[in-house]
């Protein structure tokens, strides 16, 4: 599964722009205004190999639900995560912009509170 630690997002807040609430795995990309000390650079073309990461970058701050039961999708996310993990970072650069990536698991109990 995803190698780096999961960062908890505020999924209980409608202003967060959740793609599809409920139990599951979520990803978001938050813009960073200063250059991080460590990051991985991707081109827009390279990001097309990671559709859910591309979607997160295309919709900064929006929380995107991942179909975690789809093995191909999860393998794709693991591949992306391994790139960040091997570079000891949670940040990436696309064009002139920097992003911090967060992954979160929301459990069934949390989803039932809604």
Residue 61 within a domain: yes
Res. 60: pLDDT tops 50: yes
Distance (Å, whole) CA 92 – CA 114: 32
Residue 66 within a domain: yes
Residue 59 within a domain: yes
| Residue 95 structural domain | 21-106
Res. 94: pLDDT tops 80: yes
Residue 51 within a domain: yes
* Residue range 76-102: mean pLDDT, rounded: 96
Which carries the bigger pLDDT value, residue 6 or residue 61? 61
Q: What is the mean pLDDT of the chain?
A: 80
Domains contained in the chain, number: 1
H or E segment at 100?
A: strand 97-106
Residue 63 within a domain: yes
The count of C-alpha atoms lying within 13 angstroms of the C-alpha of 30, restricted to the half-sphere facing its C-beta, is 14
Query: What is the pLDDT at residue 21?
Result: 60
């Amino acid at each position: 599964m995803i190698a780096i630690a999961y960062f908890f997002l505020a999924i209980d807040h409608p202003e967060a722009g959740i793609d599809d609430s409920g139990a599951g795995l979520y990803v978001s990309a938050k813009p960073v205004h200063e250059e991080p000390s460590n990051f991985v650079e991707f081109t827009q073309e390279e990001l097309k190999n990671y559709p859910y990461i591309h979607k997160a970058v295309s919709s900064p701050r929006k929380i995107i639900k991942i179909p975690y039961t789809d093995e191909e999708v999860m393998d794709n996310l693991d591949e992306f995560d391994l790139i960040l993990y091997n570079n000891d970072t949670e940040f990436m650069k696309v064009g002139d912009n920097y992003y911090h990536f967060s992954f979160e698991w929301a459990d069934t109990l949390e989803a039932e509170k809604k």
